[in-house]
């Protein structure tokens, strides 16, 4: 079954939503196809008729997740008042996902499911990079971000820092939830790009990033 298909039967949709939730909560390695079939209330035959391998199922859940992610990012961009507002909206989207994400999930994907990891990398290289870069350009146009920052360098640092805290393997951050790691990374990013006007606007917003630690 192609992971790019966006319309599914009720049974396939139930399988995908259940698998996506379980993979995020428990990791890709620990959840088996038998587990998915049992949790969905379908036979293993039905599961394998639609997804012939676990990696194909993982790819399909990634496609579902990325499609939903892009729709949310588009909605935030179109409804946001300015670049800062858009960036806060992006934070809300990602942090909502990370609340239920098990630490080490991305490491498992990279280590054990190489083709699936390539799909993740392609999404980040195309879509994530696109939205982050466009946000930097928008913030400059609107006079909310520092004019002298190099967009490509800032983009690289931002994504690299996210990777670093998400993939930390030495145990230094084990006690810190992934969600809080991302929050601190975005706070660090804001400190690097906002000018005085941007900070003035940020202080008017009701968002969990806006606290004494950030300001």
Q: How many domains is the chain built from? A: 1
73: in domain: no
128: in domain: yes
154 lies in which domain range? 80-202
5: in domain: no
pLDDT at 2 over 80: no
DSSP state, residue 81: S
* CATH label of the domain that carries residue 96: 1.10.357
Angle in degrees, 0-180, between the axes of helices 83-98 and 178-193, rounded to the nearest 10: 170
- What pLDDT does 213 receive? 40
> Which residues are within 8 A (CB) of 25 and not within 5 positions of it... i.e. 6 or more apart?
100, 101, 102
Task: Summarize pLDDT for 12-51 with one digit per residue, the tens.
Answer: 999 999 999 999 889 999 999 999 999 999 999 999 999 9
209: in domain: no
69: in domain: no
8: in domain: no
pLDDT at 123 over 50: yes
Task: Summarize pLDDT for 91-117 with one digit per residue, the tens.
Answer: 889 888 877 777 678 888 988 999 999
The sign of the dihedral angle between the CA atoms of 113, 59, 38, 178 is positive
């Amino acid at each position: 079954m192609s992971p790019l298909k966006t319309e599914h039967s009720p049974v396939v949709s139930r399988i995908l939503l259940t698998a996506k939730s379980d993979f995020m909560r428990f990791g890709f390695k620990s959840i088996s196809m038998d587990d998915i079939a049992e949790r969905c209330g379908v036979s293993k035959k039905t599961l394998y008729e639609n997804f012939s391998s676990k990696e194909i199922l993982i790819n399909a859940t990634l496609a579902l997740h990325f499609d939903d992610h892009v729709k949310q990012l588009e909605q935030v961009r179109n409804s946001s008042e300015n670049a800062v507002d858009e960036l806060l909206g992006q934070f809300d989207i990602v942090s909502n996902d990370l609340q239920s994400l098990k630490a080490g999930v991305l490491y498992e994907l990279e280590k054990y499911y190489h083709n699936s990891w390539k799909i993740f990398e392609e999404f980040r290289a195309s879509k994530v990079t696109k939205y982050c870069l466009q946000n930097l350009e928008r913030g400059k146009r609107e006079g909310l971000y520092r004019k002298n920052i190099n967009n490509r360098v800032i983009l690289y640092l931002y994504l690299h820092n996210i990777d670093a805290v998400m993939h930390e393997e030495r145990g230094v951050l084990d006690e810190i939830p992934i969600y809080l790691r991302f929050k601190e990374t975005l706070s660090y990013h804001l400190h690097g790009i906002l000018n005085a006007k941007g900070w003035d606007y940020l202080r008017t917003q009701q968002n969990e990033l806006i606290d004494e630690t950030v300001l």
